[in-house]
Structure 1
Amino acid sequence: MIIFLVSCFFVLALVTVLCFSYELRIKVQDFFFQIIPQSKKRIQHAKNFAYELNYAAAPQQIQSHWHLQQWWILFAGFLLFASILLFAFTRPITASKVEADYLRKVDPQIYAMLDGQVLDAPPEVEEYLVQEAIAEEAAMIEQPSVMASSFNPEVQDIHTHSFSTDVPSADRKWHKMNPRYKQRLLMVFKIMREQHGYEMVLLEGYRSPERQNNLATNKNTTRARGFQSYHQFGLAADVAFKRNGKVVITERDPWAMRGYQLYGQAAESVGLTWGGRWKSIQDYGHTEYRMPGLKKTAEMAALLTSEGQLQANNISIE
């Protein structure tokens, strides 16, 4: 806006000088009087040339006007080349293309597993469905008739799902997770849906260090403090299932417990660590990507989570 105002000021000043300077007005007038006749001649030449080109395009003029017909070939070639350039420079860059290029450089393993087909994240689950699932799980905990025999016998020390009941503060934005983990998790979602018939939902992905410290006050939920959990690096997530339009969190549901076992197997097959194998606190809905050489610092957390937002940044630039 400031540049526009300054430009208008200079144009106004130039017009003012032009109006008050008689000599300058005469020079400008003579200049245009000289251009007009030359312009008329050039326009007439252009018209004549266009007429000759049009006349030369007739089939009966192939022998006599072949040298002019070459201009048509040149013009057609120019239009074709210009259209290719226009398509190349105006073609929109999709978010998948940006993420695919990123993964090809930093994580060839997952790029090869995806075979170049970057997966799109599903819609964010509605908060009220998560609230209802937590309330249902709490009701099941209060029922004394629920026995461990209803659980998968291969799993020991079953406990309540460690996902926090503080639903509003949980972050379920997929773009805040690092693509190296996000694409592995989406691949697991695809395996669960296509091979086992389970629809998965994201309960929490990125977690701030403040929220992590708050959760760590309950030792039964987590023992990791800020920047000790992979959540702060966008490399971990907690998930659940969706059945008949409802979110299912509880591990006391045999169908869900079977789903968690399958989920763990699928996660480990793509290089993720599954919380169901932990000895102290089993977290069946939790997976994380233990990136080689990761330094758990605030600077590294900021870097990895910002890499998760490269899609939105590149799309906004276009």
Structure 2
Amino acid sequence: MIAFLIISFIIMVPILALMMSYELREKCSNFYKNLLPKSKEKLISARKFAYEVNQAASIDQTQSHWHLQQWWILFAGILLLSSILFFAYSLHVAPTRVEANYLRANDPQIYNLLNGDLLSPPPPVEESLVQAAILAEIDQDPTIPSQPVNTVFDGQEADQKSHAFETNLIDRKWDKMHPSYKQRLLMVFKIMKERHGYEMVLLEGYRSPERQTRLSGNTATTLAKAFQSYHQFGLAADVAFKRNGKVVISERDPWAMRGYQLYGETAESVGLTWGGRWTRIHDYGHTEFRMPGLRKNRESAERLIAEAQNQGLMANNIH
């Protein structure tokens, strides 16, 4: 409204000046009378130039008027650049819109659940906080080898249970998590924070088949071998809580255990499977999305991970 008033004022000023001053009207009249002959000459010259440029593309003038053909290239280049700049600055696309378009076509259930308002993942949890939580867990459980948490075990000399704490082999990022699962998990994070007051962190998302094989050596940790776990497909994650600036992973903590129960209920409400209901192993921090029709093999894993990363790259480029 303010811009409209300013523009109206600017237009009204010269109009009122012309209406009130005979001398100004006379000067304007003389100026345009002198300008018309020159304008006519320029118009004729412009029409002649346009005609020559148009005819320069004909076969019989290809050699003699080649320099005029460059104007077509210049014009096309300016038009292309202008269109790119126009769409870049006028059409704002949020990074999550890329995933929104994908989910609308491939997973309408979660898209409708989110009402098109997709969520952005938080930054990865600080590694030092995770290591401190692991050390605290080791102190409480004497069965866990008290080895440095960033040590790479060879799988032969070390106890198999220690592989769960190989932090340098763990992927705590969101880029390899498939949109169908990632958005469900982010919704759970949001509900847990806003409704229940639990701040959550991602401990592990994608898991390589090599790491899965190492973990499967201890049946108390996992029963799934490579490509039998949804982690290899970007469709599973392990999470923990953050309290007073520290990561809490211990299931002995009543506050954390209550959080895991709420986490399981919330995850199931958005279509995820919660590891806390399993009978042979209770994995309270684990959820997974059992994608219909998924074949658990290397080809499917590579396809889904590539799909997830492509969505992320497209989003970053747009942003």
The TM-score by the shorter chain falls in which range?
Answer: 0.5 to 0.7
Query: Could you tell me how far 1:138 is from its partner in structure 2?
Result: 1.3
Unaligned runs of 5+ in 1: 1-40, 50-82, 144-160
3-state SS of paired residue (1:188): helix
Match of 1:45 among 39, 42, 46: 42
Residues 101-144 of structure 1: per-residue CA shift (max 9 Å, x gap): 0000000000000000000001100111111001111112249x
Partner of 1:176: 176
Contact 2:163–2:215 (Cα < 8 Å) also in 1: no
Residues 246-286 of structure 1: per-residue CA shift (max 9 Å, x gap): 00000000000000000000000000000000000100000
Moved more, 214-223 or 227-236: 214-223
Query: Could you tell me how far 1:93 is from its partner in structure 2?
Result: 3.5
Contact 1:162–1:220 (Cα < 8 Å) also in 2: no
Residues 1:251 and 2:251 are matched in the alignment: yes
1:1-318 equivalences in 2 (<5 Å):
44-46=41-43, 87-88=86-87, 90=89, 91-142=91-142, 164-315=164-315
Unaligned runs of 5+ in 2: 1-37, 47-81, 144-160
Contact 2:95–2:316 (Cα < 8 Å) also in 1: no
Contact 1:127–1:168 (Cα < 8 Å) also in 2: no
Q: Which has the higher contact order (CA 8 A, sep 6+)?
A: 1
Contact 1:163–1:221 (Cα < 8 Å) also in 2: no
Paired AA for residue 130 in structure 2: V
Query: Could you tell me how far 1:84 is from its partner in structure 2?
Result: 9.7
Please give the TM-score of this superposition, normalised by the length of structure 1: 0.67
Contact 1:118–1:183 (Cα < 8 Å) also in 2: yes
CA distance in 2, matches of 1:196, 1:316: 32
**202 and 47 in structure 1: CA distance in 2 versus 1, 3 angstrom threshold:** farther
Please give the TM-score of this superposition, normalised by the length of structure 2: 0.66
Query: Could you tell me how far 1:95 is from its partner in structure 2?
Result: 1.8
Moved more, 106-115 or 213-222: 213-222
Contact 2:206–2:232 (Cα < 8 Å) also in 1: yes
CA distance in 2, matches of 1:191, 1:141: 31
Contact 1:202–1:238 (Cα < 8 Å) also in 2: yes
Moved more, 87-96 or 263-272: 87-96
Contact 2:163–2:214 (Cα < 8 Å) also in 1: no
Query: Could you tell me how far 1:45 is from its partner in structure 2?
Result: 1.7
Residues 286-313 of structure 1: per-residue CA shift (max 9 Å, x gap): 0000111110011110111112112332
3-state SS of paired residue (2:113): helix
3-state SS of paired residue (2:256): helix
Contact 1:202–1:240 (Cα < 8 Å) also in 2: yes
Query: Could you tell me how far 1:48 is from its partner in structure 2?
Result: 11
**43 and 280 in structure 1: CA distance in 2 versus 1, 3 angstrom threshold:** farther
3-state SS of paired residue (1:290): coil
Contact 2:96–2:315 (Cα < 8 Å) also in 1: no
CA distance in 1, matches of 2:95, 2:141: 43
**289 and 316 in structure 1: CA distance in 2 versus 1, 3 angstrom threshold:** closer
3-state SS of paired residue (2:224): coil
**85 and 128 in structure 1: CA distance in 2 versus 1, 3 angstrom threshold:** closer
Query: Could you tell me how far 1:86 is from its partner in structure 2?
Result: 5.5
* Paired residue total: 229
**85 and 219 in structure 1: CA distance in 2 versus 1, 3 angstrom threshold:** closer
Residues 175-222 of structure 1: per-residue CA shift (max 9 Å, x gap): 100000000000000010000000000000000101100111111111
